[in-house]
């Protein structure tokens, strides 16, 4: 079964976000797990403290992973692309995640809360200004 057909019910209940927004959140989850694994490997190589591996990703971690992924894939157009899909803030990421939890596609722990996604970062700052600054630093 494809992602499109699996999400038909979710999209029917909440049409604020496109199928692309949901696909991005799924991809961001995997990307966040990859970033975490890479950070553990680097810490291990440096002989530092290596955090215990876990599959659970917090709301903050997912938002940060989504930002990294969006900037890698869309560069300075990231904010525009995400807005086209209905994602204007980290709160929107939370809405998508909790739609997926309600549909049974994602799981949450007792310590997880919808509010974990509120105000994680400002989209304008995180998806435009910091990207421009990073490019300026390279030059």
* Res. 120: pLDDT tops 70: yes
**Mean pLDDT along residues 19-40:** 93
Instruction: Give this prediction's pTM.
Output: 0.83
Please check whether residue 88 is in contact with residue 127, taking contact to mean a CB–CB distance below 8 angstroms: no
Tell me the pLDDT tens digit for each residue of 73-88.
999 899 999 999 999 9
pLDDT at 55: 78
């Amino acid at each position: 079964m494809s992602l499109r057909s699996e999400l038909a019910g979710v999209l029917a209940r909440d049409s604020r976000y496109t199928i692309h927004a949901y696909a991005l959140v799924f991809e961001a989850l995997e990307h966040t797990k990859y970033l975490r694994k890479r950070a553990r490997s680097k810490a291990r190589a440096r002989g530092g403290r290596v955090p215990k591996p876990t599959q659970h990703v917090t709301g903050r971690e997912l938002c940060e992973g989504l930002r990294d992924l969006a900037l890698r894939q869309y560069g300075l157009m990231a904010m525009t692309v995400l807005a086209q899909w209905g994602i204007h803030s980290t709160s929107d990421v939370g809405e998508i995640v909790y739609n997926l939890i309600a549909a049974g596609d994602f799981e949450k722990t007792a310590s997880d809360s919808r509010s974990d996604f509120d105000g994680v970062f400002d989209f304008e700052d995180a998806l435009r200004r910091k990207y421009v600054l990073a490019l300026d630093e390279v030059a």
